[in-house]
Amino acid sequence: MILVWIALGGGLGSVLRYLVYTRVDQLHSYTFPIGILTANVIGSFLMGFLAWAFTSHISLAEEHRAAILVGLLGGFTTFSTFSHDTLQHFIQGQYAAVMLNIVLSVVLCIIAAGAGLLIAKSLLT
């Protein structure tokens, strides 16, 4: 049954990712994949926040935690699209965009996850 919950969360997360990144990309004309970066940073923040909340203050059944953390947030964030976008810039010879995407994605997502954890810790303690 846990796999069904994860699949439901993953489907919802994927749809939400699509809505976020297409909307963000519509708001600017950059070739840089800011929409996917935005989804990944938001998802990383929520992962840090909810991981702390679920281990310290919010009691959920295992399948519901998995639906949210593995399914929803796993579907919302995406390493494969990040990789695809980075390779497309590489193929097009846009090496500065390649490096910027790699550095910003890794650094901002780790900072966002840490910020989410720290904010949850301060709010829920």
pTM, two decimal places: 0.92
Say what the pLDDT of residue 29 is.
82
- HSE (CB half, 13 Å, CA atoms) of 32? 15
Label residue 41 by pLDDT band (50, 70, 90).
very high
The total domain count for the chain is: 1
Encode pLDDT of 43-72 as tens digits.
999 999 999 999 988 999 999 999 999 999
Label residue 31 by pLDDT band (50, 70, 90).
confident
User: Cα–Cα distance between 56 and 30 in angstroms, integer?
Assistant: 41
Query: What would the 3-class secondary structure string for the chain be?
Result: CHHHHHHHHHHHHHHHHHHHHHHHHHCCCCCCCHHHHHHHHHHHHHHHHHHHHHHHCCCCCHHHHHHHHHHHHHHHCCHHHHHHHHHHHHHCCCHHHHHHHHHHHHHHHHHHHHHHHHHHHHHCC
Average pLDDT of the residues of the chain: 95
Residue 116's domain spans which residues?
2-123
Label residue 125 by pLDDT band (50, 70, 90).
confident
